[in-house]
Amino acid sequence: MNLEAMRYLVVVEQGPTSFGAYVPDLPGCVAAGETKAEALKLIREAIELHISDLKSEGREVPKPTSVSEVVEVEAA
């Protein structure tokens, strides 16, 4: 079986006690961990499960379209 590799943008946010991660192109695909590394490990697993669930339901897997840029601004 030839699987197509896809690269999804993952947003990681640091909270007061943990890190959260989500995938803009896969609504509802989220994870949280005590460290950034843990959150990234868990979001990878969540993405794989999310895609597997979509496929098993016969639904289309969204193609990755989100991109990111860093914008520098002067602090007030």
CA gap 73, 33 in Å, rounded: 30
pLDDT in tens, 10-67: 999 999 999 999 999 999 999 999 999 999 999 999 999 999 999 999 999 999 999 9
- In this predicted structure, the answer to whether residue 1 has a pLDDT above a threshold of 60 is no
- In this predicted structure, the answer to whether residue 8 has a pLDDT above a threshold of 60 is yes
Interacting residues of 43 by C-beta distance below 8 A, sequence separation 6+: 10, 21, 22, 23, 29, 30, 31
Confidence (pLDDT) at 5? 84
Task: Please identify which residue in the block is written with the tokens 């943990």.
Answer: 18
Confidence (pLDDT) at 4? 72
Q: Which of 2, 59, 73 is nearest to 27 (CA)?
A: 59
pLDDT band at 3 (very low <50, low <70, confident <90, very high): low
